[in-house]
Chains A and B, each alone.
Chain A
Amino acid sequence: MESRRVRGESNTDGMAERARGTVTSLASMFPAEEVRKAAERVEEAIAEKRKEVERFREFISDNSNLVNLVQKLPEELHHDVMVPFGKAAFFPGRLIHTNEFMVLLGEGYFVERTSKQTVEILKRRGKYLESNANAAKAVVEDLKAEASFFGSTASELAEDLVEIREELSDEESDASVPESGPHEQGSNSYEGYKGKVPNQDEEYARIMARLDELEKEELAAERADDYDEEDTIPADSDIFPEKSSFSDEKSTDSMYSGQNLAVQSKDRHASTEEILGKRQEDPHFLEQLNDSMEQLDGLKVQSPQKGDKSSMEIQKSKHDMNTSRIAEVDPVHSAVKESRQVPPLQSSKPSHDSLKAFTGSIIEHPVNLPMKPGQQSGTSSQASGSEPTKPVSRFKMRKR
């Protein structure tokens, strides 16, 4: 009965068309009583599991105490103790054969073991207990998440939030973003509900948007250094972000390899400014590029560390983009430092080729991208100069 709840961002560019939708009050979907009862039940379950976790913790501490005891006992030949006789009486006596322990393995099987062997057995038991305790803790976490879900549902019911289902038009496909649906109160919560489009598509859209920006910047970087040269392999934004990142890298490599130093340094300054202009939200990367670019003039090699820290929302492709960026700057350094462009870069090329999926078709960023208005002017000034007639990437088209 739970419809997929999606944290939606309102459409800033007005890209999504408002198709026919249905509006249903949340209260009709999740009756308040049941939500409360479910929340109670989950609370009980949480309490139970917490007790279990406590019990496991006790067992573990008992076990470790026993390990200490078993290790200490063999230090003496005899220990004077009170020997129990049933549950209600003692005899004064002594512990003898202090290195021999009889351990219960279960099912009525006992083994005689020395102190060290017993410690090993107990340590194994401790590990097993730990894994059990962790499993119980994980269950508690899950239950807590459930409980918070119920709690927020209950609060939303109180706010009279409404679920809005919209039919997707074909053109929009993934990129359309759900709208928030406040009822009469006009609450400004940005929680939209989307019936058909699953949660992933939104993140996918975000990822794609991010990658677009990054690609554009790299393209711009290439372009800035590459006025005279024919752009044989521009950035590919076609198929997948990872692959396009590698293609970017490759193109920058080849580009850098064909330049002489003076032109490079001058153009890199220009490209730095370009990137400065475009990438407002990534100061770390900007600084790092700036530094590296400036230091290139002095032929100093600086390993870019900050590329890793650039703040990006994307998980997987983020890493790839970072590595591509780092690798991008590194060949630059190597080119500058040794003025031996071909071998190191050539060696890196085949590896990229193997990772690339596309067959070498050249596809370019289209001129007017809807993502960021600030970047549009930059890209148009750059892109329109070189290849205005390249076909628009399928990737881009899908986003539209």
Chain B
Amino acid sequence: MDGYVPEEVRKCEEFMDRKMKPSLVRATNERNKLFEQQKIFSDLRKNIENLQKNSITNLRTMVNIGSEVYMQAEVPDTQRIFVDIGYGFHVEFTWDEALNYIPLREELLARQIEECTRRIVRIKADIKRIHEGIRQLLQIPQEPYVEERVF
């Protein structure tokens, strides 16, 4: 094998390690954050539905005032909730209004997750293509295609 081919291979590998893999990692992290947000809002919705169902008017809870030091807190009137709608804004809602808003938010999050997933898939496909190119350059025999189970 002459020295030129490994040079190409090396360049491909470098490109992959330096550009593709970090972007893949970044995209995956973004998607994870979106997943978390989704979970937060779905939990909130469940809790509000719970409150509504049991007509809970006041609440005793423990508030974290920092470094896991908690203090008792009392909510005398649970009718008004301030919900985070993004960009640092919180809107005062009643239960029903909140229950109206939260699904809309969840929808938005789902769309964002979808977009992120597409990006990730694209990056993964690029990585695979480069792998294939390297394989051809080094003339490694193709691995037999194993039929994978599709879930």
Contact = CB atoms under 8 A, between A and B. Distances in A.
Interface in B38-83: 40-41, 43-44, 47, 59, 61-63, 65-78, 80-83
Contact of B67 (A66, A73, A88, A97): A66
B59 to A, nearest CB: 7
Contacts of A98: 71
A66 B65 CA distance: 8
A125 B66 CA distance: 13
Interface residues of A, number: 34
Contacts of A84: 63
User: Which one of A63, A70, A90, A104 has the greatest number of beta carbons of chain B within 10 Å?
Assistant: A90
Interface of A: 62-63, 65-66, 69-70, 73, 81-98, 100-104, 110, 118, 122, 125
Given A69-B65, A91-B80, A102-B71, 9 more contacts: A66-B69, A88-B40, A89-B90, A90-B81, A91-B75, A93-B75, A102-B70, A104-B69, A122-B69
B145 to A, nearest CB: 42
B120 to A, nearest CB: 25
Nearest to B66: A66
Interface in B1-57: 40-41, 43-44, 47
Contact of B73 (A62, A65, A88, A96): A96
Contacts of B41: 88
Contacts of A94: 73-74, 76
Interface residues of B, number: 30
Nearest to A98: B71
Contact of A89 (B61, B67, B69, B82): B82
Contacts of A90: 81-82, 90
B71 A89 contact: no
Given A89-B83, A91-B82, A92-B80, A83 B61 contact: yes
Contact of A101 (B71, B80, B84): B71
B63 A63 contact: no
B82 A82 contact: yes
A103 B67 CA distance: 9
Nearest to A103: B69
- Going nearest first, the 5 A-B pairs with the smallest beta carbon separation are A104-B68, A93-B75, A102-B70, A90-B82, A88-B84
B44 A85 contact: yes
Contacts of A66: 65-67, 69
A62 B67 contact: yes
Contacts of A122: 67, 69
Contact of A86 (B47, B71, B90): B47
Contacts of B69: 66, 70, 101-104, 118, 122
A93 B73 contact: yes
Given A88-B41, A88-B83, A81 B66 contact: no
